[in-house]
Chains A and B, each alone.
Chain A
Amino acid sequence: MKGIKVIHIAAFLFVTSCSNDLEKLTPPAERTAAAINDLENDLIAPANGWTLNYQPTEESGVYYMLLNFNDDGSVRIQSDVPGDNDYFFDQTVAYRIDSRLNLELIFETYGVFHYLFEQNSSTFGAEFEFYYLDWENENLRFLSKSDNLSDQTIISLVPAGASAANVFSRELSENLLAYDTISSLFAGSTQQIALTDQNISIFWSIDVAQRNLTIRGVAEGLTTMEVITNDNMQELDHTTGYGFFNGKLVLSEPISFSHAGSNYTFSEITLSNFTETGEVFCTGGTTNSPIYTGSSAGLGNATLYKTLFDVKGTEFVPQSESPYSVNVFFVADANGLSMSESENGSINKYFPEATGFGFNYGYVDTDADPQPQNAVGLYYEDDAGNQKIALRKFDVVATTGNKLEIQFTTSADPVDDYYPSTLTAEERTNLGSITDEIFGVGGGEIFALYYPIPTQPDLVVYALYNACNNYEFLLVK
């Protein structure tokens, strides 16, 4: 009965406490709609829109964007990202403010964020779905929805000034794509920055899609020949992102170094005059490489060249102890397809049991039936499962820096041009066909580029690149 009394008292209190003067808590749907509306209004508010220096990952560089949100669910996004016939320079896509676990900003139709998201089969780390995070002063911040929780990108929208669009350097970002056309698939695109007033050159490998670069060395001289002749090179290893702002390529992390007693700090390069009148890398070819001239703050005049010279690539030298070799998978055709794996690959076609690719370069074999000093070919298994080797002999015609020119031998008896002498005529023909395809008929020129393997720093690997046909292969020292 005591319990019933308590209930009666409680009921009385509730009845008497019911008042229309109570502050009313709006239903969840209304509160959600209000929050969405508030955020949408915030996004629409700035008269000149928002600027964004978008860095999708810690390793990547920066993409500059200008976003103008509209109240009809569309957003105009201007960016400095080249590609797809300038599709990403200026576009209008749909966006949505949604509410699930948190308020979300979703770019609903395809644009520059999605293009970056799709890089490397969508593993690059860019995003197009964000959670609302907070305000940081006047900046509106969002958090990546698709990144791993331990490493979520934060983007910060900054109210744009009236001249924010002047920062775009689209011509520069687009022209740099021209440097990518003659490039090693494995080692990447390499460039030389000749600092004219300092008589030194900086060499870097660059990824124009992910906007990062690795400064690999510095050398005395302004041309490749001068660099090789002066032979005053110094290895460097400095990786940084970069972005394009006001006609400059700006490093996220500048580099300071000493060379030949002088100290240098390189942080940016202003690039103004672009031509395609540079060096022709394929002897007998007609395609000139690009050249950009400009200046670098504190260092004077500068010229950005396409190069296939690599300071560390000069360490690809004859090796008497053993042949250079690699798993046969790492021999690629002009399209970057493995010649041993692709359906039409000639190694797959002629030597489907091949396991390795060998390159004898100054090799001194002490066996009774010694392998040739200079030869290139395949390791494979015969039908009985025996390990076999098939090599084609070559002569080294010239070496210039990291460039090696070879010529296949042409003996009176073709048997003498191959190893071992027991190879059948068909095997010799097939190996001849494969090596002609890689090097050019009768031989050709290849550039040795150091190819670092981050997970195995002690492993010395070179990418051997043919600038005439874009074929290449790796070799392990």
Chain B
Amino acid sequence: MSRKINHGKVRRYLTGISSLLFLGLLFLTVSCFEEDKLDTPVNAVDEPVSDLDKYIDENFVQKYGIAIRYKFVDNFVDPGQRVAPPKLELVRPMLDFVDEFWVGVFADAPGGEEFFRSYVPAELVFLGGPIFNGDGTQTLGTADAGARITFTDVNSFDLTDEEWLTRQLNIVYHEFSHTVHQQFKLPTAFEEITSSGYSSAGSWFNVTEEQALQRGYVTPYATSSPNEDFAETVAFYMFDKDFFDTYITLEENCTTAACEDRNEGRKFVLEKLNSIKDHYLKVTGVDLDDLRAAVQSRL
């Protein structure tokens, strides 16, 4: 029996041998250095050395899985943004502040600690001053997709300074509340309550406090989007002791159109607040009233 040579098959066979030889060469080349291991870590993780770093490791990293970034790394901010790091001696007081007014608040509220542990962001960044943007504006606090919360102006740390304290509380409650709608969406039809009052991310700063309230928002920034509206309302409800007087309780004996408009706005704020509270309790198991009480007891 003669066997007919299939040239195509031989070519594929030879090509296969060539490929194996190439692989062999590659293997031989990389295997010359026998001691090199692929499982060697590229960057070893530094063990905490200073008392401060040990404290952070014990009380934040090990306990909650939160990394605290207080030493400057330039990718904390976008190119074009300029900011300085915090004073070393203010890091510990700032940690105590975070522990007291954020971790402690959720620990005090029934169901709060479980929710906190489940959704706490991976890292907190401390920055010394405000972030100066290239366009001359300043950024006071940021959050990044629930993974990072950035505190600015740590170098002005002063718990007796109401303006500073309010700003920091607003940062942490606002940014952490984004976790809720990112994980569980906004309350049903939340966007519809004041659908015509929203401005935009690029124009909210043209809205005054008065106009925001008349439209049914707690701040001008809340008008920028339904997500920010949600976050601002949660944050202000938690830390603002005058929340009801300012945003809920209707002014009596209105004699001006502006007064009537403010009262109309307050009705919307109440409607949104109730919607948020129901949703928050339903999806997180935490009552916003408990969180507010825990915050107010600390102020």
Contact = CB atoms under 8 A, between A and B. Distances in A.
Interface of A: 1, 3-4, 7-8, 10-11, 14-15, 18, 22, 24, 27, 29, 72-73, 92-94, 96, 106-110, 114-115, 117-118, 121-123, 128-129, 145-146
B46 to A, nearest CB: 9
With a 10 A CB-CB cut-off, give which of B36, B84, B86 has the most chain A CB atoms. B84
B83 A18 contact: no
A92 B89 CA distance: 10
Interface of B: 14, 17-18, 21-22, 24-25, 28-29, 32-33, 36, 40, 42-43, 49-50, 70-74, 82-88, 91, 128-129, 132, 136, 155
A110 B85 contact: yes
Contacts of A145: 74
B28 A18 contact: yes
A76 to B, nearest CB: 12
Contact of A10 (B25, B32, B33, B36): B25
Contacts of B22: 7
With a 10 A CB-CB cut-off, give which of A72, A96, A122 has the most chain B CB atoms. A122
A114 B84 contact: yes
A109 B87 contact: yes
A107 B91 CA distance: 16
Given A11-B28, A14-B29, A117-B84, A94 B42 contact: no
A35 to B, nearest CB: 14
B18 A3 contact: yes
28 contacts: A3-B18, A4-B21, A7-B18, A8-B21, A11-B21, A11-B25, A14-B28, A15-B28, A22-B32, A24-B33, A29-B40, A29-B42, A72-B50, A73-B49, A94-B71, A108-B85, A109-B70, A109-B87, A109-B88, A109-B91, A110-B84, A110-B87, A114-B84, A114-B85, A122-B82, A122-B83, A122-B132, A123-B82
Contacts of B87: 109-110
Majority DSSP secondary structure for residues of A touching B? mixed
With a 10 A CB-CB cut-off, give which of B24, B72, B73, B83 has the most chain A CB atoms. B72
A24 B34 CA distance: 11
Majority DSSP secondary structure for residues of B touching A? loop
Contacts of A10: 25
B67 to A, nearest CB: 15
B49 A118 contact: no
Given A8-B21, A18-B32, A94-B88, A108 B43 contact: no
A14 B25 contact: yes
Nearest to B75: A100
Contact of A109 (B32, B33, B43, B85): B85
B88 A93 contact: yes
A106 B72 contact: yes
A128 B84 contact: yes
Nearest to B84: A114
Contacts of B70: 109
A22 B22 CA distance: 22
A18 B29 CA distance: 8
A466 B12 CA distance: 95
A107 B86 CA distance: 11
Nearest to A120: B132
A448 B128 CA distance: 39
B34 to A, nearest CB: 8
Contact of B21 (A1, A7, A107, A118): A7
A145 B72 CA distance: 13
